[in-house]
């Protein structure tokens, strides 16, 4: 039999989370962000559940090709735009929308030969300081694009650095909203401001400074919320936003070791048993994408579900295995056995849920990293069951 580890993608949860984002976005249309192979879930796997979005947003031309091959004929937006001039030919061929965030990309458009004008989104650097034109340069960049016959519609876009909460005692998006509104006043074009955090936290509550409609504007960019993670964890859990886990990483017990008080477990003898324990050995390690630091960042180690009962890691995560304390599991339901279900994150067969955010927090990282890091050697399955 194959090694007992499996990642399962839950289409019902993806549909639910898309509906949740759409409800939060009001009248705005929703980009389903599927960059990084749909946050590690697989574009082809999430496609049946997310095809109800108004558009897809991603980074790579190859991923755009895959979406078109699946039959998607609606908008696809390249969030970082083109990386070299010849990418514009692919944009023309696949009818891709693309972000413009630097003068060089405008130069490439000016030299590009096309019969079909390009639909672009001009990005403003309103405070994130990664990509985009600063507010004082934004209108000049818009004027350059507007003068080009190679360019058709021009959308207006920015990205929030602190939509997940407060920074320096102020609401995390207000200063960027104000900068965006000042620089884009009276400019035509569809607007896109909100990521997952802004959509859930602010889109229906805040208003643009000029009184012009909801912060959600014309498009929101739903990313991590689609995949069942709270974008502002730990301030809120996924359940607080009514989001459901879209990926379960599960394995099984492959050994059970009695460990006497004072004995150690794993490499470096990092864990010493405080009392007599039974320790379960699980077929999952850092070569599967499970974070090694999940057992080092706090005591006890990261949470795990065994037979649907919450317990925790003991000792260091190794390449192919990790160890868990079976005490609470056996107290709840009797002795464990080889083959018992272990959920590293997601849904257990009993219906218990272990949010990926909690595992990420224990490892000193974020859910994005865990979902994207599931290794190629881990097999995937797709669960098409209805939402329980």
Mean pLDDT for 182-187 is 92
* SS3 label, residue 345: strand
Q: Is 35 a catalytic residue?
A: yes
Query: Which long-range contacts link 56-61 to residues 24+ away (Cβ below 8 Å)?
Result: 56/31, 56/32, 57/31, 57/32, 57/33, 57/221, 58/33, 58/34, 59/35, 60/35, 61/87, 61/90, 61/94, 61/96
Is the four-CA dihedral 144, 150, 152, 153 of positive or negative sign? Answer: negative
The answer for residues whose C-beta is within 8 angstroms of residue 169's C-beta and 6 or more apart is: none
Considering the chain, tell me which residue range(s) the CATH 2.40.37.10 domain(s) occupy.
247-383
pLDDT above 60 for 188: yes
How confident is residue 291, by pLDDT bands cut at 50, 70 and 90?
very high
Which of 113, 138, 267, 368 is an active site residue? 267
Confidence (pLDDT) at 163: 83
Domain with CATH 3.20.20.10 in the chain: 11-229
Question: Helix, strand, or coil here: 309?
Answer: strand
Instruction: Give the percent of the chain with pLDDT over 70.
Output: 93
Q: Is 130 annotated as a binding residue?
A: yes
**Helices of type H across the chain:** 11-24, 35-39, 43-50, 61-70, 87-94, 103-111, 135-146, 174-184, 196-201, 327-333, 356-362, 367-372
Fold observed for domain 247-383 = Lyase, Ornithine Decarboxylase; Chain A, domain 1 (2.40.37)
Least confident of 145-154, 173-182, 196-205, 222-231: 196-205
> Residue 54: CB partners within 8 Å, gap ≥ 6?
29, 30, 31, 74, 75, 219
pLDDT at residue 6 tops 50: yes
Q: What is the pLDDT of residue 316?
A: 93
Q: Quick check: 216 pLDDT over 80?
A: no
- At the second CATH level, the architecture of 11-229 is Alpha-Beta Barrel (3.20)
Residues in contact with 356: Cβ distance below 8 Å, sequence separation at least 6, in sequence order: 228, 229, 245, 247, 345, 346, 367, 370, 371
What is the C-alpha separation between 388 and 384, in angstroms, rounded?
A: 11
Would you call 267 a catalytic residue per the annotation? yes
Averaged pLDDT for residues 279-293: 96
Is residue 231 predicted with pLDDT exceeding 80?
A: yes
Q: Where do we find the tokens 């009392």? A: 275
pLDDT band (50, 70, 90) for residue 174: confident
Of the candidates 35, 39, 123, 290, the residue annotated as catalytic is 35
């Amino acid at each position: 039999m194959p090694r007992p580890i499996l990642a399962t993608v839950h289409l019902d949860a993806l549909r639910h989370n898309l509906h949740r984002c759409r409800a939060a976005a009001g009248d705005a249309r929703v980009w389903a962000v599927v960059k990084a192979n749909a946050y590690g879930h697989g574009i082809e796997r999430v496609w049946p559940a997310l095809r109800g979005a108004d558009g897809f947003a991603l980074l790579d031309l190859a991923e755009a090709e895959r979406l078109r091959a699946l039959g998607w004929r609606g908008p696809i937006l390249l969030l970082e735009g083109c990386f070299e001039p010849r990418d514009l030919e692919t944009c023309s061929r696949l009818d891709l929308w693309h972000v413009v965030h630097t003068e060089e990309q405008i130069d490439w458009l000016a030299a590009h030969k096309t019969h079909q004008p390009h639909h672009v989104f001009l990005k403003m650097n309103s405070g994130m300081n990664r990509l985009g034109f600063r507010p004082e340069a934004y209108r000049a960049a818009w004027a350059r694009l507007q003068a080009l016959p190679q360019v058709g519609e021009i959308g207006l876009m920015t990205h929030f650095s602190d939509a997940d909460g407060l920074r320096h005692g102020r609401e995390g998006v207000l200063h960027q909203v104000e900068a965006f509104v000042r620089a884009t006043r009276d400019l035509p074009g569809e607007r896109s401001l909100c990521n997952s955090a802004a959509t859930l936290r602010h889109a229906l509550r805040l208003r643009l400074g000029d009184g012009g409609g909801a912060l959600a504007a014309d498009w929101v960019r739903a990313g991590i919320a689609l995949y069942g993670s709270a974008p502002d964890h730990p301030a809120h859990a996924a359940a607080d936003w009514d989001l459901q886990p879209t990926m379960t990483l599960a394995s099984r017990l492959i050994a059970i070791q009695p460990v006497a008080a004072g004995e150690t477990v794993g490499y470096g003898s990092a864990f010493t048993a405080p009392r007599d324990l039974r320790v379960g050995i699980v077929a999952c390690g850092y070569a599967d994408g499970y974070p090694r630091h999940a057992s080092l960042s706090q005591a006890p180690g990261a949470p795990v579900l065994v037979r649907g009962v919450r317990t925790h890691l003991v000792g260091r995560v190794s390449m192919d295995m990790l160890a868990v304390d079976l005490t609470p599991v056996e107290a709840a339901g009797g002795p464990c056995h080889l083959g018992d279900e272990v959920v590293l994150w997601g849904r257990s067969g009993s219906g218990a849920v272990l949010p990926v955010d909690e595992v990420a927090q224990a490892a000193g990282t974020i859910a994005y990293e865990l979902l994207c890091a599931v290794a190629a050697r881990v097999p995937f399955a797709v669960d098409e069951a209805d939402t329980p």
